[in-house]
Amino acid sequence: QKEVEQDPGPLSVPEGAIVSLNCTYSNSAFQYFMWYRQYSRKGPELLMYTYSSGNKEDGRFTAQVDKSSKYISLFIRDSQPSDSATYLCAMSRMDSSYKLIFGSGTRLLVRP
């Protein structure tokens, strides 16, 4: 079993829809939680960062962390075709060099 599980999709939604992306994890020691966006053949781009449990909002993006359930989410409001990409969740621990453990990524397609 992988440490971080993520539904690979693809997830196809119409423009303007609210998108919900999720990851589950098995290691309760993770402290830092991130979402990256990756366009085809490009490097991952940091979208959101959350420390421990709670919510964080940045524009159209909201990240949620529920450590008790080992579950993290990314919500995208008013989705745009330019949001079409692969979304990667990642997490790390201070006592493990902060190295990132990634999910496999969810492909998102926003249809005009």
Nearest approach in angstroms of CB 112 to other proteins is: 25
CA distance 44 to 76: 17
Q: The tokens of 43 are what?
A: 């490097």
Binding mask 9-28 for other proteins (x = CB under 8 A): --------------------
Which amino acid is located at 54 in the chain? G
Nearest approach in angstroms of CB 105 to other proteins is: 5
The smaller minimum CB distance to other proteins, of residues 34 and 72, is found at 34
CA distance 84 to 101: 23
User: 3-state class of 50 per DSSP?
Assistant: strand
> By CB under 8 A, is residue 42 in contact with other proteins?
yes
- Of 13-21, 45-53, 57-65, 66-74, the segment contacting other proteins by CB under 8 A is 45-53
CA distance 34 to 58: 13
CA distance 45 to 69: 26
Residues near other proteins (CB under 8 A): 4, 6, 8, 31-32, 34, 36, 41-46, 49, 51, 88, 90, 92, 94, 97-105
